[in-house]
Amino acid sequence: MEKLYARDLYGQTLLELGKKDPRVVVLDADLSGSTRTAIFGKEFPERFFNVGVAEQNLMATAAGLSSCGKIVFASTFAMFATARPLDQIRNTVCYNNCNVKIVATHGGITVGEDGASHQAIEDVGFLRPIPNIRIIVPCDAWEARAAVLAAYETEGPFYIRLGRSKARTVTQKPPFELGKGQTIEDGRDVALVACGIMVNEALQARDVLKEQGISAAVINMPTIKPVDEDLIVRMAERFGKIVVCEEHQVIGGLYSAVCEVLARTRPVRVAAVAVDNKFGQSGNPEELMKHYGLTPGGIADKAVNLCRQTSGN
């Protein structure tokens, strides 16, 4: 199956948007080659600002530009796009409801060899409590493109998290809709709710589970905020158990979002396949995924356990 860099499509999509809309402005903080914003910068130097290694300035300048009618995309690595300028994002970008789209690359543990300092696995958790922001973790390059287009078309702040590595294409043209999850594969026994590259892992876990006589549905949940409450509740009602899969700490991300919905609507057992309150380390992406249990096998184990625990109900 096709594998693509989501950030490649991000760069190309920026270029398209830049051609059709002079309001589109792009900012980067010395990582424009990696984030691919350089593609835009080359074509539109007068609408591209590299602010250097200065992420606080990146976000607050983006806010200022947006206050003058610009649609501003601000990019750097997910670690530096969230942790360092959190105040600028909270108090300037989000409080003012600025039309600033933070598109961060190199999110998650699969950043790999650079190690824990560069592995953004708390980024969604940093931002999720902040009002006004919408948070999207696309599952592949095409969904990343769709998310970028949705952010462009929708007024207000966004955080879109892309990975460093190539992502296997899950669907060529995913029916991405802001704030909606989609059932990609249906099932009878358990729901696997996933975002980002974990969607692909969940699809493989479905095959593993099938061999064990368990029929799993796979739900792609790219919008973490506002999360698709209706779909989550429906899944809980139908299956009575859910496994959430994400390349993020178990605290603060999609697992938290799902549990928050279910705790006040339809409490059911929810298991997490996520980084279990630990820092990452160096290694290649596959090794790391394995080490932290972010694998089809890891998902299947959680699903089997959950089915056992709830079989009496």
Partner 1 sequence: MEKIRFLKNNANQMRRLIVEMLAKAGSGHPGGSLSATEILACLFFEVMRHDPKNPGWEDRDRFHLSKGHCCPALYAALALNGYFPKEELMHLRCLGAKLQGHPDRRTPGVSMASGSLGKGLSVALGMALAGKMDKKDYRVYCVMGDGEIQEGNIWEAAMAAAHFKTDNLCGILDYNRFQIDGRTEDIMNLEPVVNKWESFGWHVIECDGHNIELLIEAFHQAKGIQQKPTLIVAHTVKGKGVSFMEHVVDFHGRAPTTKEQEIAFKELEDIERDESQL
Q: How far is the CB of 75 from partner 1 (least distance, A)?
A: 16
Measured from the CB atom, the residue of 60 and 137 that comes closer to partner 1 is 60
Which helix (H) or strand (E) segment is 157 a member of?
none
Strand ranges across the sheet with 190-194: 182-185, 216-220, 190-194, 241-249, 269-275
**For residue 268, what are its two tokens?**
């059911």
Minimal distance, residue 266 CB to partner 1, in Å: 35
User: Which residues lie across from 74 on neighbouring strands?
Assistant: 27, 102
The smaller minimum CB distance to partner 1, of residues 54 and 259, is found at: 54
Q: 11 is written with which tokens?
A: 């760069």
Can you tell me which residue has the tokens 């691919």? 36
Q: Which is nearer to partner 1, 32 or 169 (CB)?
A: 32
- Interacting residue with partner 1 among 9, 14, 25, 151 (CB under 8 A): 25
- Hey, which residues between 85 and 114 contact partner 1 (CB under 8 A)? 87-88, 91-92, 95-97
Among 7, 35, 39, 70, binds partner 1 (CB under 8 A): 70
- Residue 214, number of CB atoms within 10 A of its CB: 19
Report 41-60 residues binding partner 1 (CB under 8 A): 46-47, 49, 51-52, 54, 56-57, 59-60
| 3-state SS, residue 107 | strand
Residue 55 appears among annotated catalytic residues: yes
CB atoms within 10 A of CB 180: 16
Binding site for partner 1 (CB under 8 A): 25, 46-47, 49, 51-52, 54, 56-57, 59-70, 72, 87-88, 91-92, 95-97
Q: Which residues are catalytic?
A: 55
